[in-house]
Structure 1
Amino acid sequence: MASPTVHIESAEQFNQLLNSSKIVVADFFADWCGPCKAIAPLYEQLSAQMSQPNLVTFTKVNTEKQQQIASAYAIRSIPTFILFRDGKLVEKVQGADPTKLQSLVRQISQESQNAAAGGSGSSNSGGGGTGSNSALGWRGAGLPRGYTDVTDQLEIPKTELLNFDEEFGNVRVLFDSSKPGALNGGKKTEKDWVVSDTDEQLLLFTPFMSVLKLHTLQITSVADEDEEIMRPKVLKLFTNRPHNLGFDDAEGETPTQLIELKDSDWNQDSTANIPLRFVRFQNINSLVIFVESGEGEGEKTRIDRIRFIGETGEKREMGKLEKIGDDSGA
């Protein structure tokens, strides 16, 4: 039986696949790369198991023959695996690490299930609204008219969350495309939400893969049975920082926007739909979210999901591939 993996012969072919297949997985490799050869059988096995016409497509991109594509996605070491959804980069994994590749596979499985279930579900055009399922997954509030969910532009591997309790979820949980377990009803088997650790404060650094115009921030925080765990109340947003802030800096600096949430801001899906001062959130390449305090007298703060709503701006331009060194992730 022939392998379903598509070997990319041109940038045009690759772009056509990104447009025709809901989910595309790309293995960036080179013929001389030992680690690439070592993990290739596992990749082929996953391709055989998970490929679905027009839904999930596995591809291989030879970085020496397809330098234009490799440069466009900033491939600096090989092997590198990239997951695309609706033509947009969702996840990037570097190195021949079977554990990391299996983690990527779990995300592919989740993405394909969302898409197969009719991911283009309806969403409200108003700012309040209720949760919706779309190609980008679950949201706790509808979309403002004329704007889209741009959470998929987040560069997940470079995000950073400070002061979170490791007994609960980590930073990736915040941007999970699935509905929070606490809103699904029934018994919760995993703690798929974030809780602060030593006090009520959280510091989140979110870099983006393209320049954005941000219109709305959606934060989901399910009311916790533990009275010591609160919803966020006072937030400070800082734009275009090269890295995360320290807590002292976040408390002392003037934010791009200061937000104080009220009980009435939380809808039936436990989501606050926060409008941003749009003129201040043009040309955004990163956002720092500082949860300064919670809504009550507790000691910790909880967040289940975060979504960014707006529009994409500049895209990466195709260019020449820089020479790939020996940092092949072995």
Structure 2
Amino acid sequence: MSKTVHIESAAQFSSLLSSSRIVVVDFYADWCGPCKAIAPMYEQLSAQLSRPNIITFTKVNTDTQSQVAQSYGITAMPTFMIFKNGREVSKIRGARAQELSEAVKKLAAEADSDGTSGGFGEASTSGGPTWRGAELPRGYSDITDQVDIRGLDLLNSDSELGGVRALFDSAAPSSLGSGKGKGKAIGAESKSDWVESDVDEQLMLYIPFQSTLKVHTIQLTSLPPKSEDDDEIPMRPRTIQLYTNRAHNLGFEEADDIPSTQSITLASTDWDEKTGTAKVELRFVKFQNITSLVIFVVDGDGEGEKVRLDRVRIVGETGEKRDMGKLEKVGEDS
């Protein structure tokens, strides 16, 4: 019996990308001669190497699932794509059986050797997967890799600590598991891998994207120190306001004058104590065609004067690529 999964919807495909460590995809058409020629070999690989939640072989009919095919720029059949931890690692155009076999078997061997590395709650050892502090909602993927790192902007952050890019580091927070919130310094300037607000408890984070997204959930990780010896313990965010599709970051006064797309109040029980992560579930209908997000941390949960963030993860679905060449950063540097 064939173990190959025939994709019947974009949601089904997104779910597989988030639930299986390696996903092999055969984009084909019923009328395509080379597709039929290589199909038996593909099925043989599937029968030999398929393993639940580790290696999944799929087939996408480009005529009936044109949305999925267009999302990945498929213009010739057959085209084979291989994903590891939700990210593309190989793309093979044409019925090149040997190249396909070698690529799949190499990744299968890596899956055997690296065990659960790069999975939920763990740091990446291969550079591909992204650490997450919470499980993904069913049917959606971690799309943090769609963040345009060059255009990030963060207002009111302590310049002595980490910069805005630290929030999107693919590795686990260095403070995780220490219980003290004092992780290792990173980078050439030996700065921390988290950010804190500066003169008060507010932060204004601007996140542009490389694609038009459907954003379902935002995962925020905050790991303030637990030691009672610290005089100024930063707080976790409490009130958060979200603004969509802005051309640049907002000023704090400007944010007060503009209605937010959604306002969220986090309780202390919303934070997972093991990972320091809160899942901010959005009103999905309002976050369907998103090119940028502004996350405004209005205040923190506690009596402190500063707010801390360690990681931000974006969860949802990707859409069409944007032309990033015309983007310009406006506003202060973080």
TM-score bin, normalised by smaller chain: 0.5 to 0.7
Distance in 2, matches of 1:156 and 1:200, equals: 24
Which residue of 1 is the match for residue 212 of structure 2? 211
Q: Relative to structure 1, is the Cα distance of residues 297 and 138 closer, same or farther in structure 2, using a 3 angstrom cutoff?
A: same
Which residue of 1 is the match for residue 198 of structure 2? 197
Q: Relative to structure 1, is the Cα distance of residues 185 and 251 closer, same or farther in structure 2, using a 3 angstrom cutoff?
A: same
1:139 to 115, 122, 132: 132
Equivalent residue letter for 2:316? G
Which residue of 2 is the match for residue 255 of structure 1? 260
SS at match of 1:248: helix
1:188 to 178, 183, 196: 183
1:121 Cα deviation after fit: 4.8
1:161 to 145, 149, 154: 154
SS at match of 2:175: helix
Conservation of the 8 A alpha-carbon contact between 2:218 and 2:313: yes
Structure 1 segment 211-290 matched on structure 2, within 5 A:
211-224=212-225, 225=227, 226=230, 227-268=232-273, 269-290=275-296
Conservation of the 8 A alpha-carbon contact between 2:212 and 2:322: no
SS at match of 2:302: coil
Distance in 2, matches of 1:188 and 1:301, equals: 16
Q: Relative to structure 1, is the Cα distance of residues 243 and 119 closer, same or farther in structure 2, using a 3 angstrom cutoff?
A: farther
Distance in 1, matches of 2:261 and 2:161, equals: 30
Deviation per CA, 1:204-246, whole angstroms, max 9, x where unpaired?
1000000000000000001324444111100000000000000
Structure 1 segment 95-106 matched on structure 2, within 5 A:
none
Return the TM-score normalized by structure 1: 0.57
Which residue of 1 is the match for residue 300 of structure 2? 294
Conservation of the 8 A alpha-carbon contact between 1:229 and 1:298: yes
Paired residues in the alignment total 206
SS at match of 2:263: strand
Deviation per CA, 1:168-212, whole angstroms, max 9, x where unpaired?
111000000111111143973312110000110000100000000
Distance in 2, matches of 1:86 and 1:170, equals: 25
Conservation of the 8 A alpha-carbon contact between 2:122 and 2:172: no
Which runs of 5 or more residues in structure 2 are unaligned? 1-72, 74-85, 90-109, 186-191, 327-334
What percentage of aligned pairs have identical amino acids?
54
Structure 1 segment 287-326 matched on structure 2, within 5 A:
287-316=293-322
Q: Relative to structure 1, is the Cα distance of residues 199 and 136 closer, same or farther in structure 2, using a 3 angstrom cutoff?
A: same
Which residue of 1 is the match for residue 330 of structure 2? none
Distance in 2, matches of 1:246 and 1:228, equals: 26
Distance in 2, matches of 1:232 and 1:274, equals: 11
Distance in 2, matches of 1:173 and 1:288, equals: 17
Deviation per CA, 1:253-293, whole angstroms, max 9, x where unpaired?
21000010001100131100110000000010000000010
Query: Aligned-pair RMSD on alpha carbons?
Result: 3.1
Return the TM-score normalized by structure 2: 0.56
Equivalent residue letter for 1:230? M
Which residue of 2 is the match for residue 172 of structure 1? 165
Distance in 2, matches of 1:275 and 1:157, equals: 26
Conservation of the 8 A alpha-carbon contact between 1:221 and 1:302: yes
Structure 1 segment 32-181 matched on structure 2, within 5 A:
86-87=87-88, 117=114, 121-123=118-120, 131-132=121-122, 135-181=128-174
SS at match of 1:279: helix
Q: Relative to structure 1, is the Cα distance of residues 316 and 248 closer, same or farther in structure 2, using a 3 angstrom cutoff?
A: closer
1:86 Cα deviation after fit: 3.2
Which runs of 5 or more residues in structure 1 are unaligned? 1-71, 73-84, 89-112, 124-130, 323-330
Deviation per CA, 1:108-142, whole angstroms, max 9, x where unpaired?
xxxxx9xx85677544xxxxxxx255743211001
Conservation of the 8 A alpha-carbon contact between 2:119 and 2:129: no
Distance in 2, matches of 1:237 and 1:157, equals: 21
Distance in 1, matches of 2:223 and 2:183, equals: 13
Q: Relative to structure 1, is the Cα distance of residues 223 and 192 closer, same or farther in structure 2, using a 3 angstrom cutoff?
A: same
SS at match of 1:291: strand
Q: Relative to structure 1, is the Cα distance of residues 177 and 122 closer, same or farther in structure 2, using a 3 angstrom cutoff?
A: closer
SS at match of 1:244: coil
Which residue of 2 is the match for residue 106 of structure 1? none
